[in-house]
């Protein structure tokens, strides 16, 4: 899987210009290799409505598939928009909003009502993140130190494993924005997280995956 710009026209242009590098071999360029369909659940928000709130629409979308052109590699990838996570119907900003609201001590029912999702869905996101929170914290902390090696910030305990992981995420995204403001400045925080983890925030996050992105 390879996370890409949410704009399909931009992705097509990047594929045509051989601008996407294979995340498996890190050498070959990715070229077009058909399509894959998957369901997504989108929130259609009116102007001035906070992230995650609005009318919820579930629909089937086509995602581009790519294949590495390097000799000896040939790995295929689903080109996942950074607005999504792998194997999740919902947008990453909605999932991130649920996490931050829970850390603010909102009840499951109140979060579900605000986001227009089932309580079981919201609790499922939290459980998956909590199960890998330690690994997420370590991965993002290593990335943060790689970005700000001369004076890395000290992360103090935030009260829980998930809170510690989110604190590391926020600091790392802040460092990425400071160093790459032209490319990342306008991208929402949780979309940056999706890009850094290749859509794998709610799955085990190998530190090498995030380090690969911050060192690129």
Q: Please tell me the distance from the alpha carbon of residue 122 to that of residue 129, in angstroms, as a whole number.
A: 11
What single DSSP character describes residue 25? Answer: T
- Supply the pLDDT for residue 183: 72
pTM over 0.75: yes
Decide: 70 and 30 in contact? Cβ < 8 Å.
no
- Supply the pLDDT for residue 211: 77
Give the residue carrying structure tokens 């802040």: 174
> pLDDT (tens digit, 9 = 90+) per residue, 40-96?
998 876 544 555 567 888 999 999 999 999 999 999 999 999 999 999 999 999 999
Model confidence at 110: pLDDT above 90: yes
Say which residues have a Cβ less than 8 Å from residue 179's Cβ, sequence separation at least 6.
Answer: 147
Alpha carbon separation from 52 to 3, 81, 91 (Å, rounded): 21, 17, 8
Closest CA to 77 of 69, 90, 67: 67
Domain residues for 53? 2-214
Domain tally, the chain: 1
């Amino acid at each position: 899987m390879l996370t890409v710009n949410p704009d399909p026209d931009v992705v097509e242009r990047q594929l045509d210009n051989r601008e996407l590098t294979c995340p498996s071999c890190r050498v070959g360029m990715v070229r077009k290799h058909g399509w894959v369909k998957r369901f997504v659940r989108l929130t259609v928000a009116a102007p001035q409505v906070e992230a995650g709130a609005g009318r919820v629409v579930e629909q089937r979308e086509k995602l581009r598939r790519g294949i590495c052109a390097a000799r000896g590699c040939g790995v295929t990838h689903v080109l996942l928009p950074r607005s999504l996570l792998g194997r999740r119907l919902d947008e990453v900003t909605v999932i991130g909003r649920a996490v931050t609201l829970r850390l603010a001590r909102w009840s499951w029912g109140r979060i579900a009502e605000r986001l227009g999702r089932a309580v079981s869905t919201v609790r499922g996101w939290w459980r998956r993140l909590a199960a890998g929170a330690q690994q997420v914290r370590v991965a993002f902390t290593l990335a943060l130190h790689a970005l700000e090696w001369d004076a890395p910030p000290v992360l103090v305990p935030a009260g829980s494993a998930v809170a510690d992981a989110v604190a590391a995420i926020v600091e790392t995204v802040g460092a990425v924005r400071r160093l790459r403001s032209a490319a990342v400045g306008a991208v929402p925080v949780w979309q940056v997280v999706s890009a850094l983890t290749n859509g794998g925030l709610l799955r085990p996050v190998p530190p090498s995956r995030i380090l690969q992105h911050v060192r690129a």
